[in-house]
Amino acid sequence: MKFVFLTIQRFFTLRSISTMSENLSKNLCTCQSSEPRHDKLIVYQILVRLFGNRNLTNIVHGTIEQNGVGKMNDINDACLNELKRFGYTHIWYCGLLEHATLTDYTAYGIRKDSPYIVKGLAGSPYAVKDYYDIDPDVAVDIPNRISEFEQLVKRTHAHGLQVLMDFIPNHVAREYGSDIRPDEDFGINDDQTKAFSPTNDFYYIKNEEFQMPNVEHIPLSIDISKITKYTERPARATGNDVFHSKPLITDWFETAKLNYGTDYAVGKNFFDPRPPLWDKLFRILCYWIDKGVDGFRCDMAEMVPSDFWHWLITSIRKAYPERRIVFIAEIYRPDLYQRYIEHGLFDYLYDKVGLYDGLRWLLEEGSILGNCNDITRIHNELKHIDRHMLRFLENHDEIRIAAKPFAGNPWKAIPAAVCTAAMHSGPFMIYFGQEIGVDSVGQKGFQGDDGRTTIFDYWGIPEFQAWYNNGACDGNQLTVAQKSLRLFYESLIKLVHNHKAIYCVSSKLIDLQFANHSLYDTKKIYSFIRYHEHDEQLLFILNFDYKNSYDIELAIPNEIWPSIGLDTTKVYTIQEIFIDGKLKLELRSNENLRLKLPGNQVYVFQIQQ
């Protein structure tokens, strides 16, 4: 197991980790209850297939029998109780829908998938082959897998947590076919002689056969000489907008793109009358909402027309007026943000190409792109919609913080994590294992050695199983350093829950970089104030240089004092309330604050009235 904090922690010694842990523990004891009193979402993403998998054999391209798989039942009461205590409000259960796989479930009446169009032995959770079913991998009693899902939802709700699941409307597995609702299958009424028709569910490449990428993605354990080659004629467009018959290995070749009524060849929409696909997707969402699902993370939402989202979300809200169904859009085009909020009606959007990218540049070892002034720029660009932006440092698509291609050290992310959680009132998300510094090293199967936790292969995560501890979910097998990192994230969530200057939608941010370019290195240090009306003010000072300490001065210009509820004639005591918990300073108008800022340090000062 490569993950050893004490060897990668050049700048966090056992003593400093222990001191930080002691301070955080004391501060937690003085905090109010973490029971949310607000609408800020704290999301925990779980890839169910990996979460509870106690088999750590980890054979490259290993089968389900060799490497094991996690189950929905692994997410037990002890687990949910701890996640609730930790401060999460929503659990995103990732990879629940039945998707293409190379595991044989024909004994249960589930059609076998062609190895030519499956990525990895386990398969991609985003190549769904039955929108109305649960993946058999994650069920203990496979014939009763829907019942196991319903029990998971009930358990989650019983612990005061909300359930999010994936909705993947842009594409489906090439061999999609529902066992539960075959009458709702896609393409069964398509006119395949037409490349485009608003009444077709798919796009077709006329008179051409689908040509698969090379067979290098097929595991060597599978004898392709004994397998019937997958055929598709006419070929359908591939999920990532490949409108020809020969996608590359790097394309989403295992999926077919769905047709919402946009003719890409002429750049024209045909939304009136409403394409039949729209109603199929509405019925799918209703199916899962009726089973208790509280919201959806919508995969590649930007590749589906905003007119569809407007109709769909409006229809869902009319159908379920008594419930708040949350819609989160995966989106990477800032030029579309406003449209997908205002017209598409999404509650929240991914902030990946903004804050995530800016923070990653600051954390990457040797990066010349990192600059705290980019945080200022990103805030200014998104401040009109910041409450709609979901912030994160990890998810299933991204490289683990601890991995060498990212920070190479999970502790380096402390200032960045504070930014993602506390800068705005929008949601904050943690990917399972981030809180204990999970790394990802080596080849797994289809997933290469790229720093990501695999979504394609059967695999076990040793660091996470140290927390899971055979279902006790008490972390008793974690190292001291892992426990300390987890305590940091817990304390960060409690900080969010307990301060209206952070969680309240009406709270505001004042970026202080503009006043401090001559006082400290604004490329490495970032400061801002969060305040709620005139009753709470928090000052954040973050040092992204994890190697070096600085003696700094910090200015809070007189002209902003009245706007945040401060009287320039008074002297205020400011108390550090987060990691240090001891430092007190006096704040006077016309005088700069002076303090020592250790490497990788975060100070959160509460201005005491």
Residue 19: its pLDDT value, please?
63
Q: Residues 386-418: pLDDT tens digits?
A: 999 999 999 999 999 999 999 999 999 999 999
Residues 334, 282, single domain; the answer is yes
Whether 516 and 445 share a structural domain: no
With respect to residue 181, please indicate whether it lies within any of the assigned structural domains: no
- Same domain assignment for residues 332 and 414: yes
Residue at which a domain ends, from 474, 498, 522: 498
Helix, strand, or coil (residue 138): helix
Q: Look at residue 527 and give its three-state secondary structure.
A: strand
User: 558 and 540, same structural domain?
Assistant: yes
469 with 560, same domain? no
Domain final position from 498, 528, 555? 498
Q: Same domain for 474 and 516? A: no
What CATH number is given to the structural domain containing 435?
Answer: 3.20.20.80
pLDDT tens, residue by residue, 115-164: 999 999 999 999 999 999 999 999 999 999 999 999 999 999 999 999 99
The total number of structural domains in the chain stands at 2
Rounded Cα distance between 335 and 400, Å, is 27
Q: Where are the beta strands (DSSP E) in 254-312?
A: 255-257, 262-263, 268-269, 295-298
Q: What is the DSSP letter of 140?
A: S
The enclosing domain of 524 has a CATH number of 2.60.40.1180
Domain annotation covers residue 252: no
- The residue type at 6: L
- One domain, residues 337 and 360: yes
Identify whether 237 is part of a domain.
no
Q: pLDDT tens, 193-243?
A: 999 999 999 999 999 999 988 877 888 788 888 888 999 999 999 999 999
Report how far apart, in Å, the C-alpha atoms of 399 and of each of 58, 159, 192, 408, 449 are: 19, 30, 40, 10, 10
Asked if residue 345 belongs to a domain, the reply is: yes
Q: Residue 220: what pLDDT? A: 75
> Does residue 15 belong to any structural domain of this protein?
no
Q: Are residues 361 and 445 in the same domain?
A: yes
- Same domain membership, residue 470 and residue 533: no
212 close to 175: Cβ distance less than 8 angstroms: no
pLDDT at 218: 84
Q: Which domain holds residue 443?
A: 43-96+137-172+271-498
- Among positive and negative, which fits the CA dihedral 166, 170, 173, 175? positive
- Domain check: are 154 and 84 in the same one? yes
Residue 317 maps to a domain: yes
Residues 456 and 542 in one domain: no
